[in-house]
A and B are shown apart, each in its own frame.
Chain A
Amino acid sequence: MADIAFLLIIFFMVTISFEVDKTQVTLPRTEIRLEIPKQSAYVSIISSGQIRVSAGDEISVPVPGPEEVLSFAAGVVQRDPTKAFVLKADSDVPYRYVDSVIDALKQAKAQVIYLLSDQETVDNQES
């Protein structure tokens, strides 16, 4: 019994991943979903437009607006120019918030942005 228990413990220890951003959002659903590199920088936007950022190795912190996203992203890109950014935005968020964040990331010369999404399934399409 103890052997099985320890095997399970090892499984959980190996698979555990510490989420840097615990913001609860309803992600958009897509059929194409590519694996996001680990340690990517996160920018999350909840439906009210509140933005939080994380460079990938610490818990995300709220920022007042897109200008701060630009300075945050510029700092991240300066440290690692190939760093991937993950945009975790609520499906219902008005596009102007996303637009300003994408614009900030573009100005910071980010190379790639991943739009975090859930899997689109046949059931979702029907409903």
Chain B
Amino acid sequence: MKLKKGNVSDEIPTASMADIAFLLIIYFMVTTTFAATRGLDFSLPQEEDTPPMVEKEEAVLIEIQAGGVLIVDQKPMLLDEILEYLEPKLERNPRKPVIIRPQQNAAYGDMVSVFDELRQAKDKIGFEVKNISIPTQREIDMFWF
């Protein structure tokens, strides 16, 4: 029996390479998700046993009620007005503590908006709010009352 000789190419067949490559591209395009990888940082105090003692009277208390109503030092206020209200206080005392206290049924988004607003103080009024605290309910029960 005679075998055919001489027709075998000595090159690697690359004609289907592009097809494979495009299949891989489609796979990666479909599986790529642009995950949100940014957010607001929130540093926690490190000594659990000695919580920063803040005199309630000295601090600015921002209460967030359900529905997004803000009560700043017992007065209802809009989000845009908070920094305006804080400006003279921060001018006198740059380390003025600001306490954010959302009610248990308030929306998380409202707390984040207030926190974001306070963090922008440096850009908006030129003073940084250095001392922001968001006490948890357990801390309030333990240390306040």
Please name the residue on chain B nearest to A114 by beta carbon.
B39
- Mark each residue of chain B from 82 to 117: 1 if its CB lies under 8 Å from any CB of chain A, else 0: 000000000000000000001111111101110110
Q: Does B9 contact A (CB under 8 A)?
A: no
* Range class of the A interface residue count: 35 or more
List of B residues within 8 angstroms of A30 by Cβ: 39-40, 112-113, 115-116
Overall SS of chain A's interface = mixed
CA A96 – CA B137 in complex, angstroms?
8
* CB nearest neighbor in B for A110: B44
Closest-by-CB residue of B relative to A27 is B36
The contact of B21 among A6, A27, A36, A110, by CB within 8 Å, is A6
B-contact 0/1 string along A92-125, CB 8 Å cutoff:
1111111110110111011111111111100000
Q: Give complex CA distance A102, B115 in Å.
A: 15
A86 within 8 Å of B by Cβ?
yes
Residues of A within 8 A of B (CB): 1-2, 5-6, 8-9, 12-13, 15-17, 19, 27-36, 45, 86-87, 89-100, 102-103, 105-107, 109-120
- Which chain A residues border B29 with CB–CB below 8 Å? 12
Most buried by B among A36, A106, A107: A106
> How far apart sit A36 and B115, CA to CA, in the bound complex (Å)?
17
Give 15 CB contacts A-B under 8 Å.
A5-B25, A8-B21, A17-B37, A29-B113, A30-B113, A32-B116, A91-B112, A92-B109, A94-B107, A94-B108, A95-B102, A97-B108, A103-B136, A103-B139, A120-B116
B50 within 8 A of A: no
Q: Are A92 and B44 in contact, with the CB atoms below 8 A?
A: no
Question: Are A32 and B107 in contact, CB atoms less than 8 angstroms apart?
Answer: no
Q: Are A34 and B40 in contact (CB under 8 A)?
A: yes
